């Protein structure tokens, strides 16, 4: 086992052992609090440009399962307390170490991830580097920034995923969405045509869909100015469901503002549904949030019980709904798949 180091931009060094690809990478260091779902985390394009820390102490115990892969593996590195070298699961196809090597992703284990998470919680998200030698100068680590995330993870060509019992046709603008999102839309009778993020509003409308889906994705929503302009052209023309980054960019298209959170929401987060005596434990992965009172046409539908940030908006006149969390993922006993039912109702003319 080779020595490896995790070097933070403030000079803090964690010594551990390397696994996965034998290379060094710089990325934005973030943590995820989920107990399960490491396959989905590693293949969520919204982690583009980031080094991911798992707070759960053992990772890899059920191996890697191709059917659970969500999209492109875009992480810059992987940090765990302990990785399971001999997974045990009837669905397991190969181990975590093999996956990381195949994807060119360096990993480090034997790190005190509890201490590391406390640092990020108290000081906020910072950059870091996984390396086999400690650099004397941390300036390159400090200088790292994530940019061009959507362009890097969006699909290259149009693809259609038919529903078994089709009721509606929807166009999904792919900003880095997960496969589960398409699956859930198929389940509620939506045939999904996925288009690249650069697709113009006129091209989407020319397909004459019943509705439009704006997917989740990585990075700072404010840098996607051309996409936000096109979203504004779609607003009010067709029913819209927006998720994650799509939720943020829809708000920006309507005059809203976003802020960068100190350490983001990644993993299970409690979202309270306004007007209903219900709280949902939601799956989330984002570093930015919509400022609640800045969206002219939007009414808040969900808010985060930990920090009161906006988790959902409804634009009633435009037949558009958006949520910050991933409704296709069930992190708690109560599913947020009701969001898809609401979208179907909007497309069917039921408000």
pLDDT tens digits for 59-93? 999 999 999 999 999 999 999 999 999 999 999 99
Name the one residue in this structure whose structure tokens are 């589960």: 180
Contacts of 261 by beta carbon, 8 Å cutoff, 6+ apart: 286, 287, 288, 289, 307, 309
The predicted structure's pLDDT at residue 344: 96
The predicted structure's pLDDT at residue 350: 62
Please check the confidence at residue 333 and state whether its pLDDT lies above 60. no
Packed helices 338-347 and 179-187: angle between N→C axes, nearest 10 degrees: 60
Q: Is 116 left (phi over 0), alpha (psi -120 to 50) or beta?
A: alpha
The predicted structure's pLDDT at residue 332: 56
pLDDT digits (tens, 9 = 90+) for 176-199: 999 999 999 999 999 999 999 999
Contacts of 228 by beta carbon, 8 Å cutoff, 6+ apart: 221, 249, 252, 253
Question: Which one-letter DSSP state was computed for residue 330?
Answer: B
Farthest CA pair distance, the chain: 62
The predicted structure's pLDDT at residue 1: 77
The pLDDT-based confidence of 133 (bands split at 50, 70, 90) is very high
Average pLDDT, the chain: 94
Please give the full DSSP string across 57-101, using - where no structure is assigned.
Answer: SEE-TT-B-GGG--S----SEEE-SEE-SS---TT--B-HHHHHH
CA distance linking residue 153 with residue 159, whole number of Å: 15
Question: Average pLDDT of 133-147?
Answer: 95
Please check the confidence at residue 277 and state whether its pLDDT lies above 60. yes
Please check the confidence at residue 11 and state whether its pLDDT lies above 80. yes
Question: Side-chain half-sphere of 82: how many Cα atoms within 13 Å?
Answer: 7
Domains and CATH numbers, the chain: 3-146 (3.50.30.20), 150-347 (3.40.50.880)
Please check the confidence at residue 102 and state whether its pLDDT lies above 60. yes
């Amino acid at each position: 086992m080779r020595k490896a180091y995790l070097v933070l931009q403030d000079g803090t060094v964690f010594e551990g052992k390397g696994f996965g690809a034998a290379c060094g990478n710089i990325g934005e260091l973030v943590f995820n609090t989920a107990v399960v779902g490491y396959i989905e985390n590693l293949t969520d394009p919204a982690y583009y440009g980031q080094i991911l820390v798992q707070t759960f102490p053992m990772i890899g115990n059920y191996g890697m399962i191709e059917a659970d892969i969500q999209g492109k593996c875009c992480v810059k590195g992987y940090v765990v307390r302990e990785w399971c070298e001999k997974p045990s699961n009837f669905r397991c196809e190969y181990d975590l170490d093999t996956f990381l090597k195949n994807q060119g992703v360096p990993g480090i284990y034997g790190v005190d991830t509890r201490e590391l998470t406390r640092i990020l919680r108290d000081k906020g998200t910072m950059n870091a580097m996984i390396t086999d030698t400690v650099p004397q100068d941390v300036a390159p680590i400090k200088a790292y920034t994530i940019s061009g995330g959507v362009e890097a993870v969006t699909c290259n060509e149009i693809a259609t995923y038919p529903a078994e019992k089709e009721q509606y046709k929807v166009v999904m603008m792919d900003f880095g969405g997960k496969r589960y999102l398409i699956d859930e839309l198929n389940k509620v009778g939506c045939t999904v045509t996925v288009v690249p993020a650069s697709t113009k509003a006129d091209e989407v409308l020319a397909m004459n869909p019943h509705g439009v889906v704006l997917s989740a994705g990585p990075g700072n929503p404010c840098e996607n100015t051309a996409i936000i302009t096109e979203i504004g052209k779609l607003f009010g023309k067709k029913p819209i469901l927006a998720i994650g980054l799509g939720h943020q960019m829809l708000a920006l298209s309507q005059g809203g503002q976003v802020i960068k959170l100190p350490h983001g929401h990644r993993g299970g987060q409690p979202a309270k549904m306004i007007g209903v005596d219900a709280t949902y434990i939601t799956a989330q992965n984002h570093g930015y949030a919509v400022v609640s009172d800045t969206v002219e046409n939007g009414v808040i539908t969900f808010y985060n019980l930990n920090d009161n940030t906006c988790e959902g908006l409804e634009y009633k006149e435009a037949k558009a709904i958006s949520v910050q969390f991933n409704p296709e993922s069930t992190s708690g006993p109560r599913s947020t798949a009701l969001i898809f039912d609401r979208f179907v109702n909007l497309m069917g003319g039921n408000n």
